[in-house]
């Protein structure tokens, strides 16, 4: 059922940067003592100035825990609610501009961070991410969802070689910080991830280049400069990177010869002519006085693009009332 509740469509990336963090409330970091952790993949770059290490727990990733439809619906509804809340906030920050972001990517990156949070920090993250008190269920559900995506992506790709869906996450942290074994165990067992360590303090620019290199490799060479020059400072202590790469054909391709210029409404008053794709197909759609909605499937049919267009003069009221439950009801 949850495949009909989660919609992801384009190449998406998130970088969440925390400078000068306060480790007192991040219980994943032990500021007093540390236990030995397995360290692998040591590389030296930038003429020997920067050393990159991957800290990873020897604990294997857990097999997905089978969840009921009700559990999955509740989880996805909470993720969608978080995404829509974030959308409304971003609209006030980035006004009069096109905006593309991935609530899935942001939520996943913050979930990995939440696993190392404690005290007030953890409580505030629970509120924002809409997490109940059972954090263990929260992480095991993410583990189920991400592995399910990975399994279905491989199945579709075996039948359609041009199809690719890859979701990659990484935590990049200041070297020599002692991380708790329990936190690394959580990252490995529930997210299949570890922590890359670099020296932001001494080599912020080489660290930036190394992260960009990693992102480029993870996104099939599509994004080669995610973090701009000067964005990393000596006070940077952690960078969360989430790469969401999707390359998929439509189940029903749009004929090029049917594209034609038509009016596109930027607002109630501003109109421009743009090339519009055109085709006729049988698919799910909904039209009423408030909005029009249509679902366009990708090859494999597990993923689709869901387009919602508010009717004239109703954009702001529609956006203000859209929440996770409403979106779930519309999709159903």
pLDDT digits (tens, 9 = 90+) for 92-125: 888 777 888 888 888 999 999 999 998 999 999 9
Q: Report the alpha-carbon distance of residue 159 to residue 157 in Å, rounded.
A: 5
Whole-angstrom Cα Rg for the chain: 22
CB neighbour list of residue 290: distance below 8 Å, 6 or more residues apart: 310, 311, 314, 317, 318
**pLDDT value, residue 294:** 94
Angstrom distance (rounded) from CA 237 to CA 278:
49
pLDDT in tens, 117-142: 989 999 999 999 989 776 778 999 99
Cα–Cα dist 128/135, whole Å: 14
Contacts 24+ apart (CB under 8 A), 304-310: 304/7, 305/7, 305/9, 306/7, 306/331
Q: Is 150 left (phi over 0), alpha (psi -120 to 50) or beta?
A: alpha
What whole-number distance in Å separates Cα of residue 132 and Cα of residue 170? 25
Residue 263 has which token pair?
């009016």
Q: Which two tokens stand for residue 331?
A: 């999709």
User: How many of the other CB atoms lie within 10 Å of CB of 46?
Assistant: 14
- Distances, alpha carbon 5 to alpha carbons 2, 79, 304, 328, in Å: 5, 10, 10, 6
pLDDT of residue 142: 94
Contact predicate 198/50, CB 8 Å: yes
Judge whether 239 and 211 are in contact, CB under 8 Å. yes
- Farthest CA pair distance, the chain: 67
Q: Which stretches of the chain drop beneath a pLDDT of 70?
A: 1-49, 134, 267-268
Specify the pTM. Answer: 0.79
């Amino acid at each position: 059922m949850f495949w009909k509740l989660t919609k992801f469509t384009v190449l998406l990336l998130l970088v969440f940067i925390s400078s000068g963090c306060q480790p007192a409330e991040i219980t994943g970091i032990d500021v007093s003592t540390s236990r030995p952790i397995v360290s692998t993949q040591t590389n030296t770059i930038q003429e020997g100035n920067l050393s990159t290490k991957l800290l990873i727990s020897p604990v294997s990733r857990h097999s997905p825990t089978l969840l009921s439809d009700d559990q999955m619906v509740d989880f996805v509804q909470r993720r969608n609610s978080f995404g829509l809340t974030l959308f409304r906030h971003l609209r006030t920050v980035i006004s009069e501009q096109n905006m593309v972001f991935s609530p899935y990517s942001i939520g996943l990156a913050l979930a990995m961070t939440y696993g190392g949070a404690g005290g007030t920090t953890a409580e505030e993250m629970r509120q924002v991410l809409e997490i109940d008190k059972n954090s263990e269920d929260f992480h095991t559900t993410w583990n189920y969802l991400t592995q399910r995506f990975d399994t279905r992506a491989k199945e579709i790709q075996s039948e359609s070689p041009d199809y690719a869906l890859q979701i990659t996450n990484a935590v990049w942290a200041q070297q020599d910080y002692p991380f708790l074994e329990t936190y690394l165990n959580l990252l490995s067992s529930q997210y299949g991830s570890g922590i890359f360590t670099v020296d932001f303090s001494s080599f912020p620019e080489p660290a930036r280049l190394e992260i960009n290199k990693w992102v480029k490799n993870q996104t099939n060479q599509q994004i080669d400069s995610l973090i701009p020059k000067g964005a990393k400072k000596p006070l940077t202590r952690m960078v969360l990177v989430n790469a969401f790469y999707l390359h998929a054909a439509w189940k029903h391709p749009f004929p090029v010869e049917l594209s034609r210029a038509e009016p596109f409404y930027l607002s109630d008053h501003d109109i421009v002519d743009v090339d519009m794709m055109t085709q006729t197909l049988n698919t799910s759609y909904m039209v009423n006085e408030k909005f029009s909605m249509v679902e366009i499937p990708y090859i494999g049919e597990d993923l689709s693009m869901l387009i919602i267009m508010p009717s004239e003069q109703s954009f702001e009221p529609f956006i203000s009332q859209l929440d996770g439950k409403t979106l779930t009801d519309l999709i159903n």
